[in-house]
Structure 1
Amino acid sequence: MDTKPGELPGEGFAAAEAQITNWLIGPARRSCTPVEIVNGLVERLTDAGVPLWRVRIAQQVANPLIGAWGVVWKRSGGTELYTVPRGVLQTNAFYGSPFEHVVKTRTRFRGSLERLERGRDHEVLFELAAQGSTDYLALPVEYGDGSVQASAFTTDRPGGFREEEAALIERLMPALAAAMEPAAMRHSMASLLEVYLGSGPADRVVGGAFQRGATTQIEAAVMVTDLRGFTGLSEKLKPDRLLQLLGAYFEIVVDAVRAEGGDVLKFIGDGVLALFSSEGNGRAEACARAVRSVGLAFARNSDPELRFVSAVHVGPVVYGNIGSLDRLDFTVVGPTVNYVSRLESAAKLLDKAAICSADVARSLPASMVRDLGQHQLKGIADPQTLFELTLPP
């Protein structure tokens, strides 16, 4: 959009600025997701004539696993939500970057990407220039709680943004903050709940299942893993090595569970409790996913000190919030959970890496299990037929 004769710089954008501002502080603030906000902002700016090539809105977050998340739009690639591992914010990818400048100084960063110099300009600017961008504008997005997030706008027009275009984008930042802050809070809360509860329970809590006694009964394959000889390891190893070993073990198991669409519900000492719901795909598929995750966990373990056992059972579980008036836990309880715990103890006694119940074995191909005969399980009157899972070597 060019300035018409007699107009001051930026006057040609007055109507567009009012329309975009009203959308940001109105519908976008009330109900849009971060991706929808970025898409809507880009669409309205390009309709006004601003030649955007790439837009990124980043959000630092209090999360033990990620340091930031954000939304990036590219003219050629659409829009996507991304996350940044926590450690990245402690590297040169962040130090000295335009985003660090924006967050720490609360001021904008503007730089032509057509006149970059090695040793002076940050590597991210060279990367953007190599992809075709000509101008870079980074701006602070200040929230009501005092935190500062960062945004970046680039163009591929030779010569870069016109001054009135950059000024329009900058004037929109308070309205963008008004829209992004509640959307970011909703997203960050869901992300944090997922870290501690798993994706399935997190979705249920966000959906309103957060009252004590808000439970439901579902059918699921339940998997338990437990380290072998943990007491001996804790006496033999130094604390830092023990914690390192535990961290590696949990990472192996959790990644395997997630890879098969399961939820890790709880860490119990050196044990892991995971759930594979049969909702949607049925009992056989839930069992198959649980067993595949067991195989994947063992396949990924390359540390000879890490020896663990696993057990799988399937059946009804009570799934939801239990606890006291002021302390709740989202977990599963019931006979199925008790039974799989007994199976895990039996796996250790029988010196088997992974076993399952007869109910699980009936849902699996015969080649995946081996009959171990009948064995007495603690707390269960009748002997139970157990099966060894024949995992790939």
Structure 2
Amino acid sequence: MTYEAFGAFETGHWPARRTAVLDWLVTGTRDERYLDVIFVELCRRLEHSGLPVARAAMFLETQNPQWLGVRVLWRRGLTQAELRPSDYDTRETDAFRFSPAAAIRAGADVVRARLDGTDPADDAYPLFGELRREGITDYVAWPFEFTLGKRHFITFATDRPGGFADEDVGLLADLLPVLAGVTDVRLKNRLARTLLDTYVGPHAGEAILAGATRRGSGFTVEAAIVIVDLRDFTTISDLWPRDDVIALLNDYFDALSDPIERHGGEILKFMGDGLLAIFPDDAASAVGAVADICRSMAALNQRRVAEGRGALGYGVGVNYGDVMYGNIGSRTRLDFTVIGPAVNVASRLETLTKEIGSKALFSGAFVAKARCAAALKPLGAYPLRGVGRPLDVYTFAEEPA
């Protein structure tokens, strides 16, 4: 195998010599999924080879919906890397503006500083003072260049008296293009999973990554189905400024999503002002999730009223049954979702909440499966559109508080 396969030709830097660590990066990391494990092993092997690395870090942009990126930090003696996410506003802070990372982002090819008092550059950034107090004597940082021009950031530091030798720096530079290739593959794998988890949910994402991408493919699953809808959203969206509507929806979906995920449910989709979630094989957990949704919405409405804004109305419909879970759509655009009569019943129950004034309604089929009759009370049998016979309907015995 040649090093070209790992992108060395893209960085403009060719390894000056072949080493055991370089060979390991090329051939010995194939079966390791986790990047932080590879990074720790790399630093351990560098130490074992005599290269005096005391501290190393990678700063990677991850395109996570919550985080700009992550710092992967290793220090001598650690058997695991420290992972620290960074906020999207990190680049607006003074800590970033006056840092080697900002210099690399601005186009610097390398940032190097001797921190033992022999180099005037050792006071260029506040970070260098912190490293000096840790006993670091030398620091070097490079851009970490991936495919399609994506630029990340990597650093190595030593506490050896006199710092890194020129040969040490050369050996580290030789590793970068291969390490970048190894890292790029795993970061893209992580990105693919993050995007799928974000847009279709973790269970559906796992199925898609496992190969469930053919239209019509899927399987039958027993699940509790939860459908939530916001009241009067059309009026709100017509009258309110766009940014206010988006902020309202984000607050509303936070109030719904946190309880569902905390109780083990999976959100399959947001439908405008609505939400579809399932609890596979675990109806009882859905009761706690819906109760917490009611509490969370009550807290949100309390804040809104205190701010001089109106409370939000909503309805929740809950059913249990068999659903088809899989790919539906056109030849080129698919949706991984659930369909079936059980979903339709949950939707009809949500609609019924408007008529009878209950925030949450549960089907008799759900109550029988969840065995939660003590927490719910019967309201009688109601005819539902598209359902052949009146359906036994329940709501909370006491308002969740």
State the TM-score, normalizing by the size of structure 1.
0.83
The reply to whether residue 20 of structure 1 matches residue 21 of structure 2 is yes
175, 190, 195: which is aligned to 2:193?
Answer: 190
User: Structure 2: which 5+ residue stretches go unaligned?
Assistant: 1-14, 306-310
Give the match's secondary structure for 1:378: coil
Asked if 1:317 is matched to 2:318, the reply is: no
Which of 92, 99, 106 does residue 104 from structure 1 map onto? 106
Q: Distance in 2 between matches of 1:41 and 1:48?
A: 11
Worse-matched range after superposition: 267-276 or 228-237: 228-237
Structure 2 residue matching 1:352: 3-state secondary structure? coil
> For 1:351 and 1:385, how far apart are their aligned partners in 2?
16
Q: In the alignment, which of 184, 188, 199 is matched to residue 202 of structure 2? A: 199
How many Å separate the matches in 2 of 1:246 and 1:137? 45
Contact 1:220/1:286 (<8 A) preserved: no
Tell me the CA shift for residue 216 of structure 1. Answer: 1.0
The alpha carbon displacement at 1:377 in A equals 1.7
Note if contact 1:322-1:330 (Cα within 8 Å) is conserved in structure 2: yes
| Deviation digits for residues 235-293 of structure 1 (CA, Å, limit 9, x no counterpart) | 33222212221121122222332222322211111001112222xxxx34443454355
The answer to whether the 8 A contact 1:313-1:360 is kept is yes
Which runs of 5 or more structure 1 residues have no equivalent in the other structure? 1-13
**Alpha-carbon offset, residue 299 of structure 1:** 5.4
Give 2:273's match in structure 1, choosing from 270, 273, 291. 270
Q: Deviations over 1:21-68 (max 9, x none)?
A: 111122325754312321221221121234444432222244554322
CA 1:39–1:358: 2 relative to 1, 3 Å: same
Answer yes or no: is the 8 Å Cα contact 1:29–1:183 preserved in 2.
no
Distance apart, 1:202 and its partner CA: 0.9
Residues 17 and 168 in structure 1, CA contact (< 8 A), matched pair in contact too: no
3-state SS in 2 of match to 1:218: strand
1:335 paired residue number = 341
2:50 corresponds in structure 1 to: 49
Equivalent residue number for residue 148 of structure 2: 145
1:185-264 → structure 2 map (5 Å cutoff): 185-264=188-267
State which drifts further: 120-129 or 210-219: 120-129
For 2:293, the equivalent position in structure 1 comes to: 294
Which residue does the alignment assign to 2:355?
A: 349
After superposition, the C-alpha distances for 1:356-392 in whole angstroms (9 at most, x for unaligned) are 2223333154442222222222221322121113453
Q: Structure 2: how far apart are the matches of 1:391 and 1:76?
A: 51
SS at match of 2:73: strand
- Which 4+ runs in 1 deviate beyond 6 A? 14-17, 114-117
Provide the TM-score with structure 2 as the length reference. Answer: 0.82
Give me the whole-angstrom Cα distance separating, in 1, the residues matched to 2:335 and 2:164: 53
SS in 1 for 2:29: helix
Quote the offset at 1:146 in angstroms: 2.0
The count of corresponding residues between Structure 1 and Structure 2 is 375
SS in 1 for 2:106: helix
1:216·1:319 contact (CA, 8 Å) conserved in 2? yes
Moved more, 322-331 or 369-378: 369-378
Indicate conservation of the 8 Å contact 2:22/2:175, yes or no: yes
Identity percentage over the alignment? 32
Q: 3-state DSSP class of the match of 2:224?
A: strand
The residue identity in structure 2 corresponding to 1:228 is R
The equivalent of 2:41 in structure 1 is 40
RMSD: 3.1
Note closer, same or farther for the CA distance 1:97–1:360 as it changes in structure 2 (3 Å cut).
Answer: farther
**Bigger mean CA deviation after superposition, 361-370 or 210-219:** 361-370
C-alpha distance in structure 2 between counterparts of 1:391 and 1:82, whole Å? 40
- With over 3 angstroms needed to count, the CA separation of the structure-2 counterparts of 1:200 and 1:239, relative to structure 1, is same
* Equivalent position to 2:379, from 372, 384, 387: 372
Separation of aligned partners in 1, 2:149 and 2:162:
35
Give 1:177 deviation, angstroms.
Answer: 1.0
Specify the alignment match of 1:10 in structure 2: none
* 8 Å Cα contact 1:309/1:353 also seen in 2: yes
Match of 2:168 among 165, 168, 180: 165
Name the CA distance, whole Å, in 1 between partners of 2:391 and 2:84. Answer: 48
Question: After the TM superposition, which of the residue ranges 65-74 and 259-268 deviates more from structure 2?
Answer: 65-74
Distance in 1 (CA, whole Å) between partners of 2:157 and 2:371 is 54
Q: Secondary structure at the match of 1:66?
A: coil
Conserved? CA contact 2:291–2:400, under 8 Å: no
Question: C-alpha distance in 1, partners of 2:126/2:315?
Answer: 47
3-state SS of the aligned residue for 2:113?
strand
Residue 113 of structure 1 deviates from its aligned partner by 5.5
Corresponding residue of 2:3 = none
**What's the offset of the Cα at 1:324?**
1.1
8 Å contact kept, 2:114–2:163: yes
1:87 is aligned to 89
Structure-2 separation of matches of 1:123 and 1:369: 60
Distance in 1, Cα, partners of 2:354 & 2:331: 37
